[in-house]
């Protein structure tokens, strides 16, 4: 049984025995095919992605050489099949950690509303698959950027779901410091702010919860010219009114959680939800500043 880990430094194992893979383009080819396990990737696309600006002058021979080396590393030529049209890595999607982590994220998002304990377990398992930077051995080609963005977003979403599950399970006092630390590097994440406000309120710190709402409002207005979304505004009202429902309320899942897929999405797939919108507006603001 083959397993491929790409969320940190590449690790390839066969029947739980580590298999060395030649670094450089052979490893990049493995990652490129693994991210679409079971799906043919066109030869022209592989050449363009792996050789980038030199792709125009690259013939098929260098790619065929890398494919042959990858087959030798895998120890089974049938694991990489193809024709002149393209190549397929014939492994189950769940054998690739980058694909499996998205499946677990989807299950966690579904479980969040009904079974926070299950959601917490799923998030913990998925987050354990990450080891430092995402896809560090995939090279610096433009093709890898959307995958890194998607997987980084999935990791942060898993953290948000884990924290929300911990809140639902009565761990308000345990998560405040972690949320504050996350917000220092992700100040536009409204779900994190909602978790912080809820955690503070459930810890008996109503004034601090209202102060946190004031902070997020100021941050959004100053950086993006936007008011907090309806979920945060409703949460502020609950805190002001000391709504009994807030003592056990479950924070809403992001609007696109139910649509997370077990496979990496097409690079043109839209990412809906206010957090994604806020991030996009923020990036545009930075670009305009230049």
* CATH value at residue 126: 1.25.40.10
| Residue 50 sits in the same domain as residue 101 | no
| Same domain for 187 and 108 | yes
Q: In the chain, what percentage of residues exceed pLDDT 90? A: 70
Least confident segment among 36-40, 130-134, 241-245, 279-283: 279-283
Residue 110: band (very low, low, confident or very high) from pLDDT cuts 50, 70, 90:
very high
* Range among 73-82, 159-168, 259-268 rated most confident: 159-168
The CA–CA distances, whole Å, from 261 to 103, 112, 183 equal 6, 16, 27
Residue with the larger pLDDT of the pair 282 and 227: 227
Same domain, 28 and 121: no
Q: What is the pLDDT of residue 277?
A: 54
pTM of the model: 0.80
- Band the pLDDT of 57: cuts 50, 70, 90: low
In this predicted structure, the answer to whether residue 109 has a pLDDT above a threshold of 90 is yes
Q: Please report the pLDDT score of residue 83 as a whole number.
A: 87
Average pLDDT, the chain: 85
The domain that holds 34 is classified in CATH as 1.10.10.10
Q: Considering its fold, how many domains does the chain have in total?
A: 2
Q: What is the pLDDT of residue 55?
A: 55
Q: Which helix (H) or strand (E) holds 81?
A: strand 80-82
Token pair of 242, please? Answer: 């000391």
Residue 255 vs residue 275, higher pLDDT? 275
**CB atoms near residue 246 (< 10 Å):** 17
Whether 71 contacts 10, CB under 8 Å: no
Query: Residue 133: in which H helix or E strand, if any?
Result: none
172, 203 contact by CB (below 8 A)? yes
Q: Helices in 96-254 by DSSP H: which ranges?
A: 97-111, 116-127, 144-168, 172-185, 190-202, 206-224, 230-241
Among 58, 43, 11, 52, which Cα is nearest to 30's? 11
Residues 81 and 225 reside in one and the same domain: no
CB 154 within 8 A of CB 101: yes
Tell me the C-alpha to C-alpha distance, in Å, between residue 105 and each of 190, 239, 289.
19, 30, 35
Instruction: Count the Cβ atoms, other than its own, within 10 Å of residue 170.
Output: 11
Mean pLDDT of 179-189: 96
Say what percent of the chain tops pLDDT 70.
83
pLDDT, average across residues 5-33 = 93
Residues 39 and 149 in one domain: no
**Do residues 126 and 256 share a domain?**
yes
Full domain range(s) for residue 39? 2-93
Kindly write down the DSSP assignment for every residue of 22-40, as one continuous string: -TTHHHHHHHHHHTTTTS-
Q: Which residues contact 43 (CB under 8 A, 6 or more apart)?
A: 60, 63, 82, 84, 85, 86, 87
Last residue of a domain, one of 75, 93, 111: 93
Question: Among residues 27, 60, 93, which one ends one of the domains?
Answer: 93
pLDDT tens track for 84-94: 899 999 999 99
- Can you name the residues that pair with 2 across neighbouring β-strands? 14
**pLDDT confidence of residue 81:** 95
Tokens of 50: 């792996």
Per the CB < 8 A criterion, the answer to whether 80 and 133 are in contact is no
């054998």: which residue's tokens? 95
Residues 103 and 79 occupy one common structural domain: no
Greater confidence, 225 or 258?
Answer: 225
Report the distance separating Cα 232 and Cα 230, nearest Å: 5
Structure tokens at 106: 């989807």
Is 62 in a helix, a strand, or coil?
Answer: helix
Higher pLDDT, 286 or 118: 118
Say if residue 63 is in the same domain as residue 147.
no
Mean pLDDT for 66-91 is 92
Q: Are residues 104 and 77 in the same domain?
A: no
Q: Which of 59, 93, 127 is the last residue of a domain?
A: 93
User: Do 124 and 261 lie in a common domain?
Assistant: yes
Q: Do 139 and 223 share a domain, yes or no?
A: yes
Q: How many residues does the chain have?
A: 290
> Are residues 166 and 247 both part of a single domain?
yes
Helix (H) or strand (E) run with residue 89 in it: strand 86-89
Mean pLDDT of 162-184: 94
């Amino acid at each position: 049984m083959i397993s491929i880990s790409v969320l940190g430094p590449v690790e390839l194992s066969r029947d739980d025995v580590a298999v060395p893979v030649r670094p450089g383009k052979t490893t990049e080819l493995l990652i490129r095919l693994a991210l679409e396990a079971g799906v043919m990737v066109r030869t022209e696309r592989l050449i363009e992605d792996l050789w980038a600006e030199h792709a125009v002058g690259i013939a098929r021979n260098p790619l065929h050489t890398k494919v042959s080396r990858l087959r030798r590393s895998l120890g089974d030529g049938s694991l990489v099949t193809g024709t002149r049209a393209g190549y397929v890595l014939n492994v189950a999607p769940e054998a690739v950690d980058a694909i499996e982590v998205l499946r677990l994220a989807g299950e966690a998002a579904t479980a969040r509303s009904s079974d926070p304990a299950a959601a917490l377990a799923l998030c913990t398992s998925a987050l354990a698959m990450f080891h430092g930077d995402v896809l560090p051995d995939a090279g610096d080609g433009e093709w890898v950027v959307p995958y890194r963005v998607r997987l980084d977003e999935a990791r942060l979403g898993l953290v948000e779901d884990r924290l929300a599950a911990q809140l639902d399970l009565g761990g308000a006092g345990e998560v405040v410091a972690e949320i504050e630390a996350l917000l220092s590097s992700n100040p536009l994440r409204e779900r994190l702010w909602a978790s912080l406000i809820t955690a503070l309120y459930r810890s008996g710190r109503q004034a601090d919860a209202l102060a946190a709402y004031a902070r997020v409002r100021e941050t959004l207005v100053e950086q993006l010219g936007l008011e907090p979304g309806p979920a945060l505004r409703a949460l502020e009202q609950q805190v002001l009114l000391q709504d009994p429902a807030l003592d056990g309320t479950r924070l809403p899942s992001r609007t696109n959680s139910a649509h997370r897929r077990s496979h990496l999405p097409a690079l043109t797939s839209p990412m809906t939800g206010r957090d994604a919108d806020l991030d996009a507006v923020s990036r545009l603001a930075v670009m305009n500043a230049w």
